[in-house]
Amino acid sequence: MRTTYMAKPNAVERKWYVIDVAGQRVGRAATVIASILRGKHKPEFTPHVDTGDFVVVVNADKIVFTGNKLQKKLYRRHSGYPGGLKETRAIDVLNTHPERIIFQAVKGMLPHNSLGRQQLTKLKVYAGSEHPHQAQQPIPWELASN
């Protein structure tokens, strides 16, 4: 009788990947990043174990929105108090904190539980082309062209 292989959390080998999102669409890039963070590109993928790799995203300030999303898309957050809803347009977020756009898009594509929060810690997003993770020797990951 054969059994299904289940990866052990301490036996997972993690790699580092660097992804340049300059000129890429937000959702298309976020799906690839979320897949790498979950480990779905590996043959030993196990849904209930964090088998994913680290992802360093650079050039987040050069990400592209299609249509009128740059003007009309709203990022909402709530303080928890009555009347505490804050809304910010995508163009304002892109000008002030562009790394939050990628972070929020990927966060929404990961499981909404403790495993998803653990996988999200392996995401590093930077607005420019420089990042402090050269010592990990990240492997470039090419995204499909638009």
Per-residue pLDDT tens over the stretch 130-142: 999 999 999 999 9
pLDDT at 130: 95
In a domain, 140, yes or no: no
Range of the domain at 51: 16-130
In a domain, 79, yes or no: yes
Q: What three-state secondary structure class fits 125?
A: strand
Are the CB atoms for 102 and 90 separated by under 8 Å? no
In a domain, 27, yes or no: yes
Name the pTM for this structure.
0.93
pLDDT at 146 over 80: no
pLDDT at 2: 84
Tokens representing residue 67 in the block: 């249509």
In a domain, 136, yes or no: no
Q: 3-class secondary structure for 18-78?
A: EEECCCCEHHHHHHHHHHHHHCCCCCCCCCCCCCCCEEEEECHHHCECCCCHHHHCEEEEE
In a domain, 96, yes or no: yes
Q: How many separate domains does the chain show?
A: 1
CATH number of domain containing 99: 3.90.1180.10
In a domain, 144, yes or no: no
The predicted-structure confidence for 51-97, as pLDDT tens digits, reads as follows: 999 999 999 999 999 999 999 999 999 999 999 999 999 999 999 99
